[in-house]
Amino acid sequence: MLSINDAVARIKENIPAHTIEKIRVNDSLGRYLAEDITAPEASPRYTSSAMDGFGLRFDAGLGEGTAFEIIGESAAGSSFAGEVLPGQAVRINTGAMIPKGVDTVVRMENTREENGKVILSKLPKKGQDIRHAGEEFAAGKVILSQKTKLSATHLALLNAVGIEEIAVYKPCTVSILVTGSELVSSGESIAPDQIRDSNMIMLAAAITEAGGVVVETRRVPDNEKQTRKAIDTSKGGIVICTGGISVGRHDHVRASAKESGFDEIFWRIKQKPGKPLFFARRGGQLLFGLPGNPVSAFMCFIHYIKPLIGAVHGLPFGWPVVSAKAVAPIQNNGKRPTMVRVCLDWQDAEGYSITGAEKQGSHMLTSVTGSNGYIILEPEEEIKAGESTTVYRYDSGRDSISLSDFR
């Protein structure tokens, strides 16, 4: 059996090449940038007012009660075309362009109007309430870096500077083949010797969360011919099978994959849960055979497949990790390295702490719904109370994870 590290190394050796495509910014939410984005123009584009008020030319002799002739208005989208001379002022709105000759904006609440003039009731500071062109960034500055996962605010920024199309990494496509004659869908009538399939919905959601695209889902009975047909005709760049991967008479995934032209890269890992993990390749198509137990399937996905999907999108192959102190001892009494599910908690004064999840069975979904990360312990290894250890998080959790937080 392979070690966990050796299995990761073999997966990394088989990461598919990146594919880049051009798409509209409006369609890019959740995608990963394939290049740096430089600003085609400065921001702000022009010098404008930060407040509603009056634009005027500052003079050292100004004082409370000084009056200025109002000669016009500069509104957002309709700027004042003339020049403002000493002793003159223009009404100005927030966001409106600063006219020629204006170097200060006096807020509306600090003035009063009489007979076509504006009178200062509070002395302004020279240059106040003016947003200068380019003060946020100049044209040519990198405003978004390659490998950024695009969010709502990123899309707003791209639109604000007039970018309509961008280069992104093409997301990997994934097929899900759930094997097991005992499985039924939620909502179907269920016999005493059947169970409801939770792997399909779990993996489809996890793939989507990771940025992949599920292109097909199939439930396959424990039948050799049907298993081979499902694998042989699978469409995804990554094929994920659950169940049928051990050594029983009804386990057909490994043999069917080989018969369908997949070359085995490894089978079985020295770990718990997820020992019978299978990995194979057929040209540019990768196949994973996960155990049928939902917790084993989830842990194998999180540790091996999720970082692979990220790598296809240009990210480093790795996991979001934090250091945390154990509240109580956590021990692996087994004979294999174990992915122990833990509850990760944040204390403002202490930082992260962990406790072992109460349930650890590979068939118990509450062991993952009741935890938010895991640690890997060698056989007989113990983390003592107060001792720090590395915690692999299921996701980025309460705060953001930068690329430097991956390992």
What mean pLDDT is predicted for residues 362-372?
88
Residue 259 has pLDDT above 80, yes or no: yes
Mean pLDDT of the chain: 93
Residue with token string 């889902």 = 217
Residue 348 has pLDDT above 90, yes or no: no
pLDDT band (50, 70, 90) for residue 397: very low
CA distance 243 to 338: 20
Residue 208 has pLDDT above 90, yes or no: yes
The pLDDT score that the predictor gives to residue 404 is: 46
The pLDDT score that the predictor gives to residue 349 is: 79
Residue (of 106, 101, 96, 57) closest to 82 by Cα position: 101
Residue 399 has pLDDT above 50, yes or no: no
Contact 197, 184 (CB under 8 A): yes
The pLDDT score that the predictor gives to residue 407 is: 59
Question: What tokens appear for 36 in the block?
Answer: 């740096």
CA distance 82 to 197: 73
Residue (of 366, 372, 319, 322) closest to 342 by Cα position: 372
Residue 402 has pLDDT above 60, yes or no: no
Residue 60 has pLDDT above 90, yes or no: no
> Is-cis flag, bond preceding 192, omega within 30?
no
What mean pLDDT is predicted for residues 274-285?
96
The pLDDT score that the predictor gives to residue 360 is: 85
What mean pLDDT is predicted for residues 197-204?
95
pTM, entire model: 0.84
What mean pLDDT is predicted for residues 164-179?
97
CA distance 374 to 386: 17
The pLDDT score that the predictor gives to residue 243 is: 94
- % of residues, the chain, pLDDT over 70: 97
- What number of helices (H) and strands (E) belong to the chain? 8, 27
| Burial per residue of 107-143, b for 16 or more beta-carbon CB atoms within 10 angstroms, e otherwise | bbeebeeeeebbebeeebeeeebbbebbeebeeeeeb
pLDDT band (50, 70, 90) for residue 400: very low
Residue (of 292, 278, 299) closest to 392 by Cα position: 299
The pLDDT score that the predictor gives to residue 264 is: 98
Residue 1 has pLDDT above 50, yes or no: yes
Residue 403 has pLDDT above 70, yes or no: no
CA distance 188 to 311: 38
What mean pLDDT is predicted for residues 250-270?
96
Q: How far apart are the first and last CA of the chain?
A: 23
Residue 367 has pLDDT above 60, yes or no: yes
Instruction: Tell me the domains of the chain and their CATH numbers.
Output: 4-19+171-312 (3.40.980.10), 20-43+138-169 (3.90.105.10), 48-131 (2.170.190.11), 321-405 (2.40.340.10)
Residue 230 has pLDDT above 90, yes or no: yes
The pLDDT score that the predictor gives to residue 398 is: 41
Question: What tokens appear for 259 in the block?
Answer: 């018969």
CA distance 207 to 401: 19
Contact 56, 88 (CB under 8 A): yes
Residue 405 has pLDDT above 60, yes or no: no
